[in-house]
Amino acid sequence: MKKLLGIIVLGLLLSGNAYAEKYKATAMHYYGSTWHKASHPTSQSEAEKLAVKKCVANDRHIRDFPKGCFLFLRGATENVWKKSMEKYELQIVAKEIKQEIKPFKTICKNIGYSEGTEKFADCVKDIYI
């Protein structure tokens, strides 16, 4: 009886993880249409890192937009994906605005305003508008 009990206990201990689910994550590039999937046996955060690494390594848009890979999590899709996208889009818009106002900054410098002052900011704003 002890042997049978020992065999059952050992069997349960050794086979307890046989059907365990792997942690899964998916990443996609902002401008892409390919899903980059990854899984990890012990950690969700590692699965997410692997998915983003796959996206960075394999997506064709990565050369032009290196920070464009984002996680896509089922169930939390709207929260994770949407917040990441909004943050990325704000960075793109901020970069475009900086490029747009560069000539106006040069004009204000040439007029004689010192960069970083309130008068300089007013000058750039007045010319921009």
Size of the chain in residues: 129
Nearest to 49 by CA among 68, 21, 69: 69
User: Is 61 inside a domain boundary?
Assistant: yes
| Segments forming the whole domain that contains residue 56 | 20-74
Angle formed by the axes of helices 118-128 and 77-111, to 10°?
Answer: 100
- DSSP annotation of 70: E
| Residue 96 counted as domain residue | no
**How far apart are alpha carbons 62 and 69 in whole angstroms?**
8
Q: pTM here?
A: 0.48
Confidence of residue 118 (pLDDT cuts 50, 70, 90): very high
Number of structural domains found in the chain: 1
Residue with tokens 């349960």: 12
Q: List pLDDT tens digits, range 19-56.
A: 556 788 888 877 777 888 888 888 878 888 888 888 88
Residue 77 — pLDDT band, cuts 50, 70, 90? Answer: very low
pLDDT confidence of residue 86: 74
107 residue type, one letter? I
